[in-house]
Amino acid sequence: MIRILVAKPGLDGHDRGAKVIARGLRDAGFEVIYTGLRQTPEAIVNTAIQEDVDGIGLSILSGAHNTIFPKIVELLKEKNASDIVVFGGGVIPDEDIPALKKAGVAEIFTPGTATSDVVNFVNNNVKARA
């Protein structure tokens, strides 16, 4: 069974987008651990390790993606957990995407992405571990 952590780092005030994605992943048959708003990168990584997830989906609207996404990838590396696939979505300008991918974020979904695209991505790129 594939387990995905859906997390919202940063100071966003609402999590509608994250909930839509969580629901879409649930309906595709994945177990989604959802942790709510305002998570620090450290808390997200600790949670991912305790929950032994296969992937982390990050949602961010506030514009802090260029610092927060690479930070999470870095922390996972420090904890020897680079096998966890990190992907993200939210209000992210196209010009930021290459640098984020270079930093180790597997995929970025921009506004207007269909839930089925995210599901397809998980099916093709995230493997259950056990």
Binding residues (CB under 8 A) for another protein: these are 1, 3, 22-23, 25-36, 38-40, 42-44, 46-47, 49-52, 79-81, 128-130
Nearer to another protein, 1 or 95 (CB): 1
d(Cα 35, Cα 32) in Å, to the nearest integer?
10
Nearer to another protein, 55 or 92 (CB): 55
E-strand stretches of the chain: 3-7, 31-34, 55-60, 85-90, 107-109
Residues in Cβ contact with 31 at an 8 Å cutoff, skipping those fewer than 6 apart: 1, 2, 3, 4
Q: Smallest gap, in angstroms, from Cβ of residue 99 to another protein?
A: 28
d(Cα 70, Cα 100) in Å, to the nearest integer?
7
Q: Smallest gap, in angstroms, from Cβ of residue 47 to another protein?
A: 6
Nearer to another protein, 52 or 93 (CB): 52
